[in-house]
Structure 1
Amino acid sequence: MAENPMVPLKDEPTIGKLVVDAQRDISKLISAEIQLAKAELKVSLKAGGFGAVFFAVAAFMGLMALIIFSVTAAYLINWDGHGLSLKWSFLIVTGFYLLMAGLLAFLGIRSVKKVKGPERAIAQAKQNKKAFKH
C-alpha cells in the first residue's frame, strides 16, 4: 500500500502546528531579548549615574581647591608682611579672576555669534515651496 505524501503521518506535526510553534518560539525569543536589553540598560544607567556623581564631586573639589589656591596666592603676594599689603594682595587675586572671567565671556560671546541657522535648508525649503505653488 503506497502512502500519500500529502497526508501527514501520525507522528509528524502539521504545518499549522509548526507555524504556531514557530510563532511561540519567536515570541519567547523576543521577550528574552527585551529582558536582556533591560538588564543591560539598567547596569549601564547605574554606571552612568555613578559617573555623573563622580564628576559632580570632582567639580566641587576643584572649586574648593581654586578657593584655597586664591587665598594662598594672596598670602604669597603678601609674603609674610614683606610684600604688598594683604588687602592689595586679595584685590590683585580678585582682579585676576575678574579679568579671566571677562576674557572667557568675550570668547564665549564670539563663539556663540558664529552659530548660524540652517541657511541652506531654509533656502531649499523656500525653493520647494515655490516649486509646489507652480
Structure 2
Amino acid sequence: MALSSHERPAAPAPPPPAPTEASLGDLIGEIGQDLSQLVRDEIELAKAEIKQESTKAGKAVGLLGGAGYAGHVVLLFASLTLVFALANVMDPAWAALIVTVLWAVVGGVLYVLGRKHLRTVNLKPERTVETLKEDARWARHPTS
C-alpha cells in the first residue's frame, strides 16, 4: 500500500519495559502463594476422589446387604425344608427342635470364634502414636 504525501508511517511501539528484578521477599511471597494454591488444589482433588470412591463403596455395600438378606432367606427356607423332610420320619415338633438345636450350635460356635478374634483387635494406632512421639521429641530438640 502506497503512502500519500500527508500520511506518516505509524511510530513503532515502544519496547516493553525491562523486567525488574523481584526482591527476595516478593519471591518468597510468590512461593508461599503458589504452595498454598497447590495445597488447596490437592485437597480439592482428594475430596473429589474420596466422594467418588465413597459413592462406589456405598453401592457395593448396598449390593452386599441385599445379598446378605437373600442368603438369610435361603437359610430360612432350607431350614424349613429340613424340618419338613425330618417330619416325614418323626414327629414335626421333634424335627423343628432338631433343626433349632443345629442352628443354636452353629450360632454358638460362630460367637466363640468371633469373640476370640475380637480380643486380638487393638484399636489404638500403635505406629501412629510412636511416630507422633518421635515428632514431638524432634520438635523439642531439632538439632540432636
State the TM-score bracket (shorter-chain normalisation): 0.5 to 0.7
Whole-Å Cα distance in 2 between the matches of residues 54 and 99 of structure 1? 29
Q: Does 1:13 align with 2:26?
A: no
Sequence identity percentage: 27
Q: Bigger shift: 85-94 or 39-48? A: 85-94
Equivalent in the alignment of 1:92: 98
TM-score using structure 2 length: 0.58
Q: Select the structure that is richer in helix.
A: 1
Q: How many residue pairs end up in the alignment? A: 104
TM superposition shift of 1:96 = 1.3
The one-letter code sitting in structure 2 at the alignment partner of 1:13 is: E
User: In 2, Cα distance between the equivalents of 1:25 and 1:107?
Assistant: 54
Map Cα deviations across residues 29-79 of structure 1 (whole Å, 9 max, x no partner). Answer: 11111110111111122222222222222222111111011001112223x
Provide the TM-score with structure 1 as the length reference: 0.61
- How much does 1:27 deviate? 1.8
Q: What secondary structure does 2:47 align onto?
A: helix
Q: Which runs of 5+ in 1 are unaligned?
A: 1-8, 118-134
Task: Answer 1 or 2: higher relative contact order, Cα 8 Å, separation at least 6.
Answer: 1
1:59 aligns with 2:65: no
Structure with higher Rg: it is: 2
